[in-house]
């Protein structure tokens, strides 16, 4: 049994102009100690899915179907208070999007780590302080600085503090939503290295949400590519990067340079992500897809296995791709 199992999850937002299906029947698994990367453009439902798992959706967002199982227990139907006490941070913690603002400016960083420990565990304050200091040390912040306020740290340091905070209650799984987006490349690589090291040391499971495929390649075991609220390709990083099957994944992988491979033109996919208020019929990607044909306009493709190694793709044209044609440069 997988540690975290998301089955057929549907997250819809009620807006004045209609219902937005931000997450539409998404299923995925994360095993103990594995890292899953969720890739996709802005507005494809990545963050909504994460927020639904943590039950932190804004007021107008609701889960309209599906299950989220943690160790076989459905956490979406759990009582609010029980969920707060036994799941949040203790089992699933979060490194939030724009983590630069994830720290409250009026409390010391140490206090913000300690309060999480004290909320969930029956330890004395001095024990919590000691653990807070250990955590800071683990992410490379001098424990003496725990009495400082967030504005007294640089962006990269704040990010590391947020990571320390996420680990404070020894969670089983950490959801990192764009953990490095606001940081420059150097700091980004330090942070990713820190996340990777900690993951190995603590046998953590990780769900890493990003629009940057290179981050997933560096940090994760598996990848799920999302488009228009659905997963369109899902598999191990080796398989998906080595042998992408969905035209969208192929396009994404070709849209940034590979420093090791020989020179290849960088492509940009024309068009923009679908308007989820009125998504196109059939495959949501068909208006941008160079391979679109009759059936794509009518029938939405299922996520189907294309490789024994559980590599799955939602596309009607996977057969055509086997020929290895360069679909984006014709």
Partner 1 sequence: MVYSRYLLKRLIYALMVLFIIITFNFIIFRLIPGDATKMIIDPKFTSEAKAELKREFGLHEPTHVQYIKYVGNMIKFDLGISFSTGRFVINELKERLPNTMVLFLTSFVLTVVIGISIGVYTASKQGTFSDGFVTGAGLFTYAVPAFWIQLLLLMLFGYYIPILPVHGTISAPQPYGLFLQILDRVHHLILPAGSNVIVGFGSWALYTRNTMLEALDQDYIVTAKAKGLKENIILRHHALRSVLPPIITLVFGALPGVVSGAVITETIFSWHGVGKYLTDAIMMQDYPAAQGAFYLIALAVVVCNFAADIIYGFVDPRIRIGEGGKE
- Residue from 25, 27, 119, 189 binding partner 1 (CB under 8 A): 119
DSSP 198: H
Determine if 87 is a binding residue for partner 1 (CB under 8 A). yes
Number of residues that this document lists for the chain:
330
- Residue from 26, 28, 30, 103 binding partner 1 (CB under 8 A): 103
| Residues 19, 231, 3: CA angle, nearest 5 degrees | 105
What are residue 94's DSSP bridge partners? Answer: 175
- Residue from 12, 89, 227, 248 binding partner 1 (CB under 8 A): 89
Lookup: tokens for 196? 């990777």
Choose the binding region for partner 1 from 100-108, 133-141, 239-247, 290-298 (rule: CB under 8 A). 100-108
The least CB distance from residue 91 to partner 1, in Å, is 10
Closest CA to 67 of 77, 59, 82, 56: 77
Whether the Cβ atoms of residue 220 and residue 208 lie closer than 8 Å to each other:
yes
- Residue from 15, 101, 258, 272 binding partner 1 (CB under 8 A): 101
The least CB distance from residue 88 to partner 1, in Å, is 3
Alpha helices, DSSP H, located in the chain = 46-53, 80-86, 109-120, 125-138, 155-166, 185-202, 213-219, 237-242, 247-254, 294-298, 318-321
Residue closer to partner 1 by CB (options 92, 313) is 92
Closest CA to 191 of 180, 201, 200: 180
- Residue from 90, 158, 160, 199 binding partner 1 (CB under 8 A): 90
Q: Which CA distances in Å does 74 have to 34, 85, 175, 231? A: 20, 15, 18, 21
Choose the binding region for partner 1 from 111-119, 229-237, 285-293, 321-329 (rule: CB under 8 A). 111-119
- Residue from 48, 96, 133, 210 binding partner 1 (CB under 8 A): 96
Determine if 62 is a binding residue for partner 1 (CB under 8 A). no
- Nearest 10 degrees: CA dihedral of 202, 69, 40, 247? 110
The least CB distance from residue 119 to partner 1, in Å, is 6
Q: List the x/- string, 11-50, binding to partner 1 by CB under 8 A.
A: ----------------------------------------
Q: Which of the residues 254 through 273 are near partner 1 (CB under 8 A)?
A: none
* Residue 126: its H or E element: helix 125-138
Determine if 160 is a binding residue for partner 1 (CB under 8 A). no
Determine if 59 is a binding residue for partner 1 (CB under 8 A). yes
- Residue from 46, 120, 160, 288 binding partner 1 (CB under 8 A): 120
Determine if 121 is a binding residue for partner 1 (CB under 8 A). no
Determine if 146 is a binding residue for partner 1 (CB under 8 A). no
Burial 51-71 (b: 16+ CB within 10 A, else e): bbbbbebeeebebeebebbbe
24 torsion bin: left (phi>0), alpha (psi -120 to 50), beta (else) = beta
Q: Which residues would be at the binding site for partner 1 (CB under 8 A)?
A: 54, 56, 59, 84-85, 87-90, 93-94, 96-99, 101-107, 115-116, 119-120, 145, 148-149, 151-152, 162, 165
């Amino acid at each position: 049994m997988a540690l975290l199992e998301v089955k057929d999850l549907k997250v819809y937002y009620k807006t004045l102009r209609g219902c937005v299906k931000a997450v539409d029947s998404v299923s995925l698994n994360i095993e103990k100690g594995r890292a899953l990367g969720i890739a996709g453009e802005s507005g494809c439902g990545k963050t909504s899915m994460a927020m639904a798992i943590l039950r932190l959706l804004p007021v107008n967002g609701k889960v309209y179907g599906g299950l989220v199982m943690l160790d076989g227990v459905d956490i979406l139907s759990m009582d609010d208070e029980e969920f707060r006490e036994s799941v949040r941070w203790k089992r699933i913690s979060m490194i939030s999007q724009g983590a630069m603002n994830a720290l409250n400016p009026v409390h010391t960083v140490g206090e913000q780590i300690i309060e999480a420990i004290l909320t969930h565990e029956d330890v004395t304050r001095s024990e919590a302080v000691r653990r807070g200091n250990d955590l800071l040390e683990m992410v490379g912040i001098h424990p003496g600085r725990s009495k400082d306020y967030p504005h007294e740290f640089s962006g990269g340091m704040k990010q590391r503090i947020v990571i320390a905070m996420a680990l404070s209650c020894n969670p089983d799984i950490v959801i990192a939503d764009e953990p490095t987006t606001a940081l420059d490349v150097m700091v980004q690589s330090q942070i990713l290295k820190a996340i990777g090291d900690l993951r190995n040391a603590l046998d953590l499971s990780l769900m890493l949400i990003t629009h940057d495929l290179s981050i997933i390649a560096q940090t994760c075991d598996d990848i799920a590519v999302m488009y228009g609220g659905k997963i369109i390709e899902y598999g191990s990083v080796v398989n998906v990067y080595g042998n992408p099957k969905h035209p969208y994944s192929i396009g994404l992988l070709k849209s940034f340079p590979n420093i090791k491979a020989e020179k290849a033109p960088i492509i940009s996919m024309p068009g923009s992500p679908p308007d989820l208020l009125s998504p196109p019929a059939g495959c949501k990607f068909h208006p941008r897809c160079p391979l679109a044909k009759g059936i794509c306009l009518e029938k939405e493709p299922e996520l189907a296995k294309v490789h024994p190694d559980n590599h799955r793709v939602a596309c009607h044209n996977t057969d055509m791709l086997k020929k290895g044609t360069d679909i984006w440069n014709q």
